[in-house]
Amino acid sequence: MTKSETQFQKIAEALTSKKIEVSKMFGMPCYKIKGKAFAGLFEEDMVFKLTGKDHEIALSLKGSKLFDPSRMGRAMKEWVQVQPKYMKQWEGLAGAALKYVSAK
């Protein structure tokens, strides 16, 4: 298991009290609440569905970018892909994404 996969599992365990489920989206493991995805593990990076200030903060991390799962220039505007060097911020970003998706 990679460090990214281990961290993904730790975050899932931390969020289980929020009634999230671990599922799949685009073939990658992801977290969902009430059937809606809010974060996932894409290769070694985590991706988060964010808005507002949380979106800005995630994109400001060097190397972060809008998530383009097809790699064909069709980025998903609310989703931010964050590298493992920011693993310590992943749990907070997952919490912000959960809050955002839960409020929709």
Domains recognised in the chain with CATH numbers: 3-103 (3.90.1150)
- pLDDT at 53 exceeding the cut of 80: yes
Q: What is the pLDDT of residues 57-100, one digit of tens each?
A: 999 999 999 999 988 999 999 999 999 999 999 999 999 999 99
pLDDT at residue number 54: 98
- pLDDT at 104 exceeding the cut of 80: no
pLDDT at residue number 17: 75
**In sequence order, which residues have a C-beta less than 8 Å from that of residue 71 and are 6 or more positions away?**
none
pLDDT at residue number 67: 97
CA distance 3 to 101: 26
- pLDDT at 49 exceeding the cut of 90: yes
Tell me how far apart the terminal alpha carbons of the chain are, to the nearest angstrom.
Answer: 34
Closest to 97 in 3D by CA, of 41, 40, 44, 42 = 40
